[in-house]
Amino acid sequence: MASRSPRKKTAEKPSYHHGDLRQALLDASLALIAEEGFGALSLREVARRAGVTHAAPYRHFADKEALLAAVAEQGFRAMTARMKARMAREETPEGRLSACGVAYVLFAMEHPSHFRVMFGPHFTRPLELGASEGDADAFGLLVGSISDCQRAGVVREGQPQVLALTCWSLVHGLAALLVDGKLEASGISTVPQAEALAEAQTRLLLRGLVRTTGD
C-alpha cells in the first residue's frame, strides 16, 4: 500500500509576543506615511505591511484615528525626551531655553513622519497622552524653561504661557519649513545646517525676550 505524501506545511504567520504587535503596527504606519503619504494609510494596508491579518490592528486600535493618535503620542514622548537631553547639557537657564527650541527643530528633521502626524489635521478627538503625560508634555517643558529664565532675571516678566507661545510659534514654523523642504532653495537641507539655523534663530528670539530696564 503506497504511503500518502506528507502534507505541505503552510507558511506560518508572524507571531507576536505581548506588546510587539502594537509597535509593529506603529512602525508600519510611519513607513507607509513616509513612502506614500497619508492618503495611502488604512488599517488594512498597515496590517498587510506588518504581516498580520486585516483584523489584527483592531486588537489595539478602534479605528485609523486611534492608530494615528498612538503614533502622535509616541512622537511627543520622543520629542520631549530629545528636548530634555539637549537641555541637560546646558548650565544656564537661557542656554536651556535655547536648547529646548533647537531640539524641537532637530526632532522634526530627524522624524518628519512623526512630526506630520503630531501636528496634522487628522484628529476629531482630543489627544490623550496617557497616565505619564509629563513624559510627552513638550509645551509644559518650554513653559517651565521660560519660568526658570524669569526667576533668574534674564527674561522679561509676563505670563510664561504667552511667552512660550511666541517661542513655540518660531521654532514650529522653522521646523515645518524644513520638514516640507521649503528652505532647500536657500541651501538648507541637512540636519547640521538645520541645527545651525535653529541655533541662530533661537539666539535672535532670546534677544527679544531679554529683560530690559523698562520691563
How many domains, in total, are found in the chain?
2
Please check whether residues 29 and 134 belong to one and the same domain.
no
SS3 content of the chain, % helix, strand, coil (to 5): 65, 0, 35
- 113 in a structural domain: yes
Residue 25 has pLDDT above 60, yes or no: yes
Please tell me whether residues 55 and 146 are part of one structural domain.
Answer: no
CATH assignment at residue 80? 1.10.357.10
Residue-wise pLDDT for 89-129, tens only, equals 999 999 999 999 999 999 999 999 999 999 988 888 877 76
Residue 186 maps to a domain:
yes
Cα–Cα nearest to 50, from 79, 59, 101: 59
* Alpha carbon distance 56, 11 (integer Å): 18
**Pair (52, 118) in one structural domain:** no
* pLDDT score of 215: 57
AA letter at 116? R
* Residue 173 in domain: yes
Helices 64-87 & 43-50 angle (0-180, nearest 10) = 70
Which of the residue ranges 10-14, 50-54, 209-213 would you say has the lowest mean pLDDT?
10-14
Residue 47's CATH number: 1.10.10.60
Q: Are residues 34 and 140 in the same domain?
A: no
In a domain, 134, yes or no: yes
pLDDT of residue 9: 39
Q: Residues 188, 82: one domain?
A: yes
Q: How confident is the model at residue 3 (pLDDT cuts 50, 70, 90)?
A: very low
Q: Where are the alpha helices (DSSP H) in 37-63?
A: 43-50
- pLDDT above 90 as % of the chain: 76
Cα distance between residue 144 and residue 68, in whole Å: 28
Contact criterion met (CB below 8 Å) for 78 and 107: yes
User: What is the CB-side half-sphere exposure of residue 17 using CA atoms within 13 A?
Assistant: 0
Same domain, 88 and 190: yes
pTM: 0.84
The mean per-residue pLDDT over the stretch 1-6 comes to 43
Do 85 and 115 lie in one domain? The reply is yes
Same domain for 37 and 141: no
Decide if 139 is inside a domain: yes
Q: Are residues 55 and 95 in the same domain?
A: no
- Predicted pLDDT of residue 89: 97
Residues 139 and 76 both lie in one domain: yes
* pLDDT band, very low/low/confident/very high, at 20 (cuts 50, 70, 90): confident
- Are residues 78 and 51 part of one domain? no
Q: Is 210 helix (H, G, I), strand (E, B) or coil?
A: strand
Give 149-161 pLDDT, tens digit per residue.
999 999 999 999 9
pLDDT at 39: 87
Report if residue 34 sits inside a domain. Answer: yes
Mark whether 163 and 134 lie in a shared domain.
Answer: yes
Residue 196: which domain range? 71-122+130-209
